[in-house]
A and B are shown apart, each in its own frame.
Chain A
Amino acid sequence: MEAKPSSSSPSTFIDQLVVPGDVILDLSNLTNQTLKLGGGLRQDGDSICVMKAGKLRFMKPNKYWVESSQKRYVPSAGDNVLGVVVDTKPENFLVDIKGPALAFLPVLAFEGGTRRNIPKFEVGTLLYVRVVNANTGMNPELSCMDVNGKAAEYGVLKEGYMFESSTGLSRTLLSSPPHPVLEGLGKKLSFEIAVGINGRFWVNASQSSTVILVGNAIQKSESLSLVQQKLYLEKLLKSINSD
């Protein structure tokens, strides 16, 4: 087995592929420093070990986590997700966010929410929500307000169709150089899209054929490389024009 160069700083591993067992950080010569570990990392004695395969990410000043593409979503506070109402309780809505447990959406977590005006959601309503709390062993808590207590863009999504994707695809759809297929389609067609980091995206347009085209194009683009995506997009746009 080849041992990776174990250095005291994990900078050599940042944005690199890591696999379970990799030691990214030796704590023995690090003192007076606080580290925050995210998913996929574990402290093992005096070292920080990787627990799952993926890319190691770092955020200043001291946050480390491993990012990978998977079907199951691991809730974490601050994420914007698409949830489906599964059940209504007097205090909470039970919402499925593709996580290991159903999430709670308190009935008062809406802008100007009081006991008087509790929204009525039937089972199967699609919501764009924010994860407020996510602790292990507890059901995650959701909210339909931003940090300032405003409704912002959160709330019910009407019409349209919700497509499933992997968490990796969702992340690329939201990343800052925009997803080439999404960008290209956006220039030609008019549609609405809402992407949840939990591996769901919702598309709406005036014509159902547009919704289907956009949804399938995005789903298909996941397995393509950048060059292939461009070719695929060109082909797609040609077929749209010829219609």
Chain B
Amino acid sequence: MEHRLANSLIMTVNERKFIESALLSDVRVDGRRPFDYRSLTIRFGSEDGSSEVQLGQTQVIGFVTGQLTQPYRDRPNEGAFAVYTEFSPMADPSFEPGRPGETAIELGRIVDRGLRESRAVDTESLCVISGKFVWSIRIDLHIIDNGGNLVDAANIAALVALSTFRRPECTLGGEDGQELIVHPPDVREPLPLILHHFPVAVTFGFIGIENTVVIDPTHYEEAVMGGSMTATLNTNGDVCAIQKAGGDGVLQSVIMQCLRIATVKAGDITSKIKDAVESYNTERSLKKIKRHKPDQQGSSDAAKQQMERLTVSSDPSGIGTQHNEHDKTNRRNNTLKSFSGGPASWDPYSRGVDGDALRTSLASRVTSLDTQKEEPVQANPEKSSSKSLDSSSFALTHEVGLDIKQSKTLKDAVKPKHKRRNKSNAS
């Protein structure tokens, strides 16, 4: 009993009265006017087909996945899609874990109806082999935070996730030409779904005795309102679905007025979705492009080896620039080594190592390197940089080989500092 009480939304009498009385003077508790929508933020997950929609305080995550299944017998050429909702108890204490509640089912049905009845998703293009294989699309909607108007937020999350979803390409092949081949995404670019239009849900609440209309109610307003209406429309003004919940009756003229307002809002939301998806797509395609500088192809081996040794391979910046950096650092380190080669006794790594042996090994290395190093650079100082680069990188490979054999020396201790300085110079 007490547990129940603690879980439900506790509204004071003051709040209920205030929401109604403030509406009479055309203001709402969060400072909006009756027909202002809350700010909408659309973000994307790391994978295709995922979205995160924030509408004021409400937060919904959408995720779309696809699977090859057998089609329904009466529609052998059509793919299927289904909407699943998940109401986390973290979003609102009144959501209970386990079976989906009334609101969860209603939400799923509204989103489903808006997409299905308006044929927004081209299901026929999801057919692979008629009567045998079709793609079935699953839309998962997770409510992260309930700040009111879950329907609109969930509907936007579903649309965004659907428009970024990509299914792997399928072809028939094999020996008899009847085998189904699903191409992995790195072999063939996955295909996006075909969406004919965006059916956007816009919810209105009717509050108080006078049935004052508000758009996009918050969860406090939802607790107060006598009824609500969700209209699903697209930019052309086609009404795809209407859901009228709650007991309060609404005049026909009010519904027509709501639909007019909803058309405008649907246009705004659609353009926001389209902008977000477009920027996502450009970012996605930019990720695919790999950049190589052809004149540094020869030295990439050395760079690779070095990258392994320095374990900076996690750095995703271009290979060409990185190689240049290493080149510079190496040159600097070489000069440094020739300077410190003599008094190696303060080497921090040589503790517990035979000092004499180390000194001799270091000295021999430095001299050999110096000859190798100085030769090409001094011989052709006025030659084009690319050539000197190549030859120096040749010297580098030698040096790298040497280094692998050697245990850690002062050089390793000095390296990161120089590297950092170089990076800051470059950026």
Query: What residues of chain A have their CB less than 8 Å away from a CB belonging to chain B?
Result: 84, 86-87, 94, 96, 101-102, 122, 124-126, 157-162, 202, 207-209, 211-213, 215-216
Contact = CB atoms under 8 A, between A and B. Distances in A.
9 contacts: A102-B2, A102-B5, A124-B11, A124-B16, A126-B14, A159-B18, A162-B12, A208-B18, A213-B31
B332 interface: no
Given A208-B21, A215-B29, 14 more contacts: A84-B10, A86-B10, A96-B6, A101-B2, A101-B6, A124-B10, A125-B13, A157-B14, A159-B18, A162-B14, A208-B25, A209-B27, A211-B18, A216-B30
Ordered nearest first, which 8 A-B pairs have the shortest CB separation? A208-B22, A124-B13, A161-B18, A126-B12, A124-B12, A86-B5, A84-B10, A96-B10
Contacts of A216: 30-31
Contacts of B14: 126, 157-162, 202
A100 to B, nearest CB: 9
Contacts of B408: none
B14 to A, nearest CB: 5
Given A94-B5, A96-B6, A102-B5, A212 B13 contact: no
Given A94-B5, A161-B18, A212 B12 contact: no
Nearest to A164: B220
B15 interface: yes
Contacts of A94: 2, 5
Contacts of A84: 10, 12
Nearest to B26: A209
B17 interface: yes
Nearest to B8: A86
Contacts of B5: 86-87, 94, 96, 102
A212 to B, nearest CB: 6
Contacts of A215: 29
A160 B22 CA distance: 10
A150 to B, nearest CB: 24
B128 to A, nearest CB: 50
Interface of B: 2, 5-6, 10-18, 21-22, 25, 27-31
A177 to B, nearest CB: 27
B148 to A, nearest CB: 14
A125 B12 contact: yes
Contacts of A101: 2, 6
A40 to B, nearest CB: 23
A213 B28 CA distance: 10
Given A96-B6, A161-B18, A212-B31, A126 B13 contact: yes
A161 B22 CA distance: 10
A158 B17 CA distance: 10
Contacts of B21: 208
Contacts of B22: 208-209, 211-212
Given A84-B12, A86-B10, A212-B22, A159 B17 contact: yes
Contacts of B16: 124
Contacts of A124: 10-13, 16
Contacts of B12: 84, 124-126, 162
Contacts of A102: 2, 5-6
Contacts of A158: 14
Interface centre among A102, A124, A213 (most CB of B within 10 A): A124
B253 to A, nearest CB: 27
A99 to B, nearest CB: 9
Nearest to B29: A212
Nearest to B17: A159
Contacts of B27: 208-209, 212
A191 to B, nearest CB: 13
Contacts of A159: 14, 17-18
